[in-house]
Amino acid sequence: MRVYFGFDDTDHLTSDFGTGKLVRWFQDDMPEGCTCRGVVRQQLKVCDAIPYTSHNSAACLITDIPDSDLLRIAVDRAVAHISRHAAEGSDPGLCVVTEGDAALGRLTDFGHRCAGEVVTQHEAIKAAGVAHLSGHGGTNDGIIGAAAAVGLTASGWAGRYIAYNGLRQYPAEISVAALNRGGVQVISVDRDAGVPGQADCVSTNGWLRPRLLGGRPVVMVAPTGEGRWRHIHRKRRKMQAA
């Protein structure tokens, strides 16, 4: 069964790493027999009314778990992982929902609201229903982003992958065929909608982070010459936290 693990608010201004890295590490803590399908970063609303560290983003691990016994073990390990790695003084939250759960529709709606407005813990709890939603320190405000991360990721049409099939080990230039073999679709965004060929080369800007579109990782590229393309996104500097 497909399971979504949403995490949020596990760091603070002086942390050595953010929530995204904490979730990527959790892939190595999953029980044997589980298959990780990537980690997706979700962007939530940034405004003065919402306390956040740098970008107000949450992250969701997508995984396939063969049975309910392993799911229970995985949830326990997620809680222990937060306890071990979350920064002191942070407000961590965890949301775990299986594919087909009635809560996913509500959580997707909730996630879209979180991307555009200020919401409350009470609203997150209501959206999750009986699905797992837990706070693990501080104000527990992290349950808001954790719930939103699950809903947006499960929708299949929001966020970007920060881990997927060795994504971070890809070279600065890579063929379309190699990306396809790794499960990543390449789509042109130029006006004339040219189609990248299998032998064409993609420049990654040293930072390849596919978007989650149609339930799969998609790299959007623009043409730079015959048989050559450029990933349209690149790494940015951290914003000043609120």
Rounded-to-integer distance, Cα 118 and Cα 158, Å? 19
pLDDT at residue 77 tops 90 = yes
User: Could you give the domains of the chain?
Assistant: 2-161 (3.30.70.2200), 171-231 (no CATH)
| Angstrom distance (rounded) from CA 87 to CA 129 | 28
- Record the pTM: 0.91
- For residue 223, the model assigns a pLDDT of 95
pLDDT grade for 11, boundaries at 50, 70 and 90: low
pLDDT band for 239, please (50, 70, 90 cuts): very low
For residue 196, CA distances in Å to 181, 213, 214 come to 15, 18, 19
Chain segment 148-204, per-residue pLDDT in tens? 999 999 999 999 999 999 999 999 999 999 999 999 999 999 888 789 999 999 999
- Cβ neighbours, 10 Å, residue 226: 6
The more confidently predicted of residues 242 and 73 is 73
**Segment 102-154, tens digit of pLDDT:** 999 999 999 999 998 989 999 999 999 999 999 999 999 999 999 999 999 99
